[in-house]
Structures are given as structure tokens and as C-alpha cells.
Copies of this chain bind each other. A is one copy, B any other.
Amino acid sequence: MDSGETGRADQGGGGVMVFPADKPLQLDSGGRIDGLEVAYKTYGTLNADRSNAILICHALSLDQYAASSHPVTGRRAWWRTMVGPGLPMDPERHFIICSNVVGGCMGTTGPSSINPATGAAWGLAFPVITIADMVRAQAMLVETLGIERLFAVVGGSMGGMQVLQWAADYPQRLFAAVCIAAAARHSAQNIAFHEVGRQAIMADPDWRGGDYAAVGVRPEKGLAVARMAAHITYLSEPALHRKFGRELQSDGLSWGFDADFQVESYLRHQGASFVDRFDANSYLYITRAMDYFDLAAGRGGVLADVFRPARDVRFCVFSFTSDWLYPTVESRSIVRALNAAGARASFVEIDSDKGHDAFLLDEPVLLSALGGFMASAAQAAGLADQAAP
């Protein structure tokens, strides 16, 4: 596959759902967002009994363009390995929805949106949001699209957290749930890495207390450093070694502070390209939502109690052996709680040296196991017998 394919790909449907003032988004903080806008993409067609809908939840730095190219950067669909004809999420069989999270910067209301009270970007006046707030907005979207019950909710990383939150908050509104490379709560190390990123952004004088939009600047250097630090956590040490080792950019050492090593140049590129497509305040808000995530916290710390109302949902949980950001032990504790709650839970630990980002990459075992789970769930849901819509 090459970038030439982008032009031929199905760009899907969707748009921006604007909710009326009498349907505000109620927030965990106690605040609310009036006039919520949710930007979303759809792929495929909803069947007659509205039973073939899949919601894909995206990760921290991603967006609604799971199966079509990014309109700003031209980047190919971020989940092209899993969404497409013949793949586990198939627009020829499913109606696939992917929406930008609340707090994001790709069209859904977030800190770079205009605050109606001031006519300027929200900046830090935007309320702090949670994973549950993101899911509540998705539920409003799904309901407005006329879907009472999703066939499946699927996501990796922060997307997986949203999947768990869906199961906790709307167990009657989903048939199956797929949680990949995630955790039921953010660890101290996870919080620590995010805090480094936030400090890097807030240390940039162009951040201007969050009001950079008003003066037409952006904290690009700080955001790039945040992305670089985070990016290391997405890869495994073996993957970094395999990709770069100690290979130099040119014939010899520079004896200076240029990017001597290929890994340095790669990281700098990751930082520089990220600032073209992401908003620094969104980065603050979304990492904060992840840090606040602790699904069992409000329920006495017992995760099984959270999942008990979801015992009729079919779960599939995936982890990767080399993922040190959300290691297998986190997935195991999710599965243990699901079992304790009496839910149907499959668990697949995939042997991969690609680290956390494996869920976005070409991983044959993920492809076949997710495909198998989705086919079996479709059978159980009575979807498999139906003709294509």
C-alpha cells in the first residue's frame, strides 16, 4: 500500500452534530457544555433494524479519521489495518462511527473552540473533562443517529478506556466491547509521563497561560517536546533497537548537538509533525482526562462491581507483551474483574515486540483474533444471517 491509495479510499460520511441549548453535555466536574458540537465520521450503511453499528473510540492523539484520510495532513486512515472491506470492522457489513472526543481539536467542542460567552477561544476557561464525559457525548451522538444499541464499541489505548466506560455507564446499549492495550485506571508512571508533557507545554512562553490563540501564536516547541517524550512510551525498547539501534544520520559523529543518531532525527520529526495537527490545550485536557481515569474509584475500588451490570455484554480484551505503557497486568485485572462480575470475557495477550503502538500496526494475531471475535459476536447477535444492507 502506498499513499496513492488515499485518493481512491472511501472517504465515508459524517459531519458535525450540533446539540441544541436544551441538550447540554453534563460534566463530571459539575459543569456543563451548552451547544455541544461533535465531529464524526461514518463508514458503511445502517441496516434496517439498526443493529449493525460499531463505535470506534480513538486514542489521545488521534481523531475521527479511522478509515479515511486526514483532511489536514493527508495522513492515511489511522486504523486501516482493522477497518475496511474484509477486515474485522467492515463498512460492507457494519455501520461504523468514529467521533472526535470532547476536548479534542478536530471539530468537536474543545479548548480551541469559541467560547460563546467571550467570542474567543476557550483556552483554560474550558472545563476539565473526563473519559466519562467523552463517552456521554458519544452516547448523545449515537442516540441522535437513531441507534438504541451498538453492536460493538471498540478502541485501543485511551479508546480502550472509553470502551470500559461505555460498559460501566451504558451496559444496555452495547452488545460487544473490545478493549485493546488499555487499563482501568492510569498508573503513577502514566501520570508522571503526562505531567512531563504538560509541563513542557506550559513552560513554553508561547503558551501564554493557555491564551495563545488570542495572540496568534502556538506553543509549538513545548508541544513537540511533550510529543517526543510520549512517543518513546509508545514504542518498546526492542522496537527502537530494531528500527534505529545506534545508527547515525550521516557518516560520522557531528561533535555537536545536531541529530547525530537516527532515533534523534525520528523523534524530532515526530514532535515537529505533531504540532501541525494537534492543539496544545487539547493535549493538556485530554491527558488530564486520562490521568483522572480510575473506573472503580467511585464504586469502592471494586472493578467487578463496575462491570456487574454489563454481564450480558461480550468482552474481548487484548494486550501486547512489549507494551510497557499499559502492560498485560492491567488487562489481566480488567479480565479478572469481568470474570468476577460474571461477564463473558475473552482475553488475548499478543506476543509482539512493537510496544504500545502495536494496536495501530500490522499485527496478524490481532487481526485474526479480533476478526474471529467480531464474527462470533455477529453470529450471536443474529447479524451474520442478514444480507449486506
Beta-carbon contact of A188 and B288 below 8 Å? no
Beta-carbon contact of A264 and B225 below 8 Å? no
List the number of copies, as a whole number: 2
Chain B, residue nearest A243 (CB):
B188
Beta-carbon contact of B199 and A271 below 8 Å? yes
A284 at the interface (CB under 8 A from B): yes
A349 at the interface (CB under 8 A from B): no
8 A Cβ contacts from A275-331 to B: 284, 288, 291-292, 294, 297, 324
A341 at the interface (CB under 8 A from B): no
Name the contact of A241 in the complex, choosing from B127, B187, B297 (C-beta under 8 A).
Answer: B187
Given known contacts A192-B267, A255-B127, A221 and B203 CB-to-CB distance under 8 angstroms: yes
Beta-carbon contact of B203 and A222 below 8 Å? yes
Chain B, residue nearest A285 (CB):
B257
**How far, in Å, is A183 (CB) from chain B's closest CB?**
12
Q: Mark each residue of chain A from 251 to 278: 1 if its CB lies under 8 Å from any CB of chain B, else 0.
A: 0010111011101100110010000000
Beta-carbon contact of A204 and B203 below 8 Å? yes
**How far, in Å, is A133 (CB) from chain B's closest CB?**
11
A232 at the interface (CB under 8 A from B): yes
Beta-carbon contact of A228 and B199 below 8 Å? yes
Please give the number of chain A residues whose Cβ is less than 8 angstroms from any Cβ of chain B in the complex: 54
Name the contact of A291 in the complex, choosing from B228, B261, B292 (C-beta under 8 A).
Answer: B261
Bound Cα distance from A232 to B196, whole angstroms = 9
Q: Mark each residue of chain A from 136 to 155: 1 if its CB lies under 8 Å from any CB of chain B, else 0.
A: 00000000000000000000
A79 at the interface (CB under 8 A from B): no
**How far, in Å, is A31 (CB) from chain B's closest CB?**
8
22 A-B contacts (beta carbon < 8 Å): A128-B256, A187-B241, A187-B246, A188-B240, A189-B232, A189-B237, A189-B241, A191-B263, A192-B240, A192-B264, A195-B228, A195-B259, A195-B263, A195-B264, A195-B268, A196-B225, A199-B228, A200-B225, A203-B221, A203-B224, A257-B288, A261-B291
Given contacts A188-B245, A189-B241, A260-B292, 5 further A-B contacts (CB under 8 A): A192-B264, A195-B267, A196-B225, A203-B224, A324-B324
8 shortest A-B CB distances, which residue pairs? A203-B221, A188-B240, A128-B255, A195-B264, A188-B244, A188-B263, A189-B237, A29-B255
- Write the residues of chain A forming the contact surface with B, with a CB cutoff of 8 angstroms: 29, 124, 127-128, 185-189, 191-193, 195-196, 198-200, 202-205, 221-222, 224-225, 228-229, 232, 237, 240-241, 243-246, 253, 255-257, 259-261, 263-264, 267-268, 271, 284, 288, 291-292, 294, 297, 324
